[in-house]
Structure 1
């Protein structure tokens, strides 16, 4: 229930009380808002921006009543090209800001533009995010993004360098344009497989046999003094095995002439679960290393002092 607290204070009625369903990829209203912003904008060279967009995209902003007709312009082009325009306009505004430095003209066209499109995307519930250079990317929820940052920070040191690289590649494919969800799923599997081979050098790959032969026995050794932890971890191992077999479906070639992509909801689940399993494996790896050192330390012979 919205009770007028700080989270809803000052927001539009529809932003607070309208049901927020799954994020959308296209919006005519968003186009109109972008057109309205540019139409109302002052203190910039409209002709320079028009020429720049024509050079970079091949599209020409029409002129109506001696002014640029942004409404007609954005209405006529596909939405994915509108996203390109947001970035290009940001570049032109940034260049304009640079030429104005040291002059009496104040403010930042680029900063204001970046802030506006970021806010408009959020308010229109679009499935995109804006980077610091006005590049547009497919967005994921905050929890998903936090998972990514957390696992990268947790996998520190040269031992996990290849694992970090595969994770970054996975999210790069997920957020890239065009979005490559199949490669994203493959890369997160590669990260898990790389970590498994680091933990168990005798394993040549990540599959059910490797999990049964190496991971299960390692977990049993680690929790040998805690039967409840053994039972609990056994269920996690089974879940990890199921995840491995699920991702294998898209890792291998398909018997079809048409390229097969991974539905975004499945790719999101694959990455989210994969990150959790990789974090768990890294913890096991460090715990096993520590236990091995402890065992080695206890096994060292006692040195007697010479008389």
Structure 2
């Protein structure tokens, strides 16, 4: 995480498709309860007024604890994530040690909520909310889901989203994430080529290479580049097979998390390109 963005509000760092950002009603409800533990009616009333000034949205009945879970439910998601930073900075105490203790307790509670509700956010030590991996990784997910949003790719999208759910577990299930990303890619490949038995280097060479040559016919630089991408896909497939459990073989151990994240990022690129080729071929 960059030091220059630490403690900044979520919406000041990221602005992606809001409907694709991880959300949870239970997370919102629990955040509302966590806020009410910070002080009494006067504190909550002042906090509500402060939020109205910071967010530009009305907060009614803020002095009553029972209203806070519902208040947070009505916020836009960007405001929910900004809220953690705003509340963190609003907490005050004349004693420096008590102030730090109060803020640390609030951050601890919010981190626990994010972890247990399996939403892909983390919180820095100054109350700034970030994606649990990084913005580029999340951008890959958002872009890929948009690419495979049509009904034709429903099964592909389900498998692809499963990969991220496995990474959301505590601890992350990197092996299942890798496998789901492979299954999503294979599902799309077999959707494109109904005669393909599986996603393998030989099947890619048999089915995908001729399609690429045909679609980019007459564009020598494009064909040369596309064939390099096909070769990259073959290497990705071979790499993924190290973590696929074959009958009669020993179950592989968990891959290092950074390798699983890289493989999932690569899967996103492969899926987007294959979906575009599928569209071009239709």
TM-score (norm 2): 0.58
Larger Rg computed on CA atoms? 1
Work out the CA distance in 2 between the residues paired with 1:212 and 1:181.
28
SS in 1 for 2:199: coil
Equivalent residue for 1:209, pick from 188, 202, 209: 202
2:40 is the counterpart of 1:43: yes
Q: Is the 8 A contact 1:188 1:274 kept in 2?
A: yes
2:260 is the counterpart of 1:267: yes
Equivalent residue for 2:236, pick from 237, 243, 260: 243
CA shift for structure 1 position 131 = 5.0
Deviations 1:238-295 (A, max 9, x none): 00000010001101249558x6111101000010001001101011110111xxxxxx
1:183 match: 176
Deviations 1:95-126 (A, max 9, x none): 9433898xxxxxxxx999844798989xx9xx
Work out the CA distance in 2 between the residues paired with 1:99 and 1:182.
39
Deviations 1:216-251 (A, max 9, x none): 000001111211211111100000000010001101
Work out the CA distance in 1 between the residues paired with 2:154 and 2:82.
38
Q: Which structure has the higher relative contact order (CA within 8 Å, separation 6+)?
A: 2
Q: Is the 8 A contact 1:224 1:230 kept in 2?
A: yes
Cα distance, 1:118–1:163 mapped onto 2, change above 3 Å: farther
Work out the CA distance in 2 between the residues paired with 1:212 and 1:227.
19
Q: Is the 8 A contact 2:115 2:170 kept in 1?
A: no
CA shift for structure 1 position 177 = 2.8
1:172 match: 165
How many residues of Structure 1 are paired with residues of Structure 2 in the alignment? 195
Work out the CA distance in 2 between the residues paired with 1:205 and 1:240.
14
Equivalent residue for 2:217, pick from 215, 224, 245: 224
SS in 1 for 2:190: helix
Cα distance, 1:213–1:131 mapped onto 2, change above 3 Å: same
Identify unmatched segments of 5+ residues in structure 2. 9-33, 42-63, 71-79, 90-102, 122-131
Q: Is the 8 A contact 1:171 1:184 kept in 2?
A: yes
Cα distance, 1:185–1:227 mapped onto 2, change above 3 Å: same
Work out the CA distance in 1 between the residues paired with 2:69 and 2:225.
63
TM-score (norm 1): 0.54
RMSD: 4.0
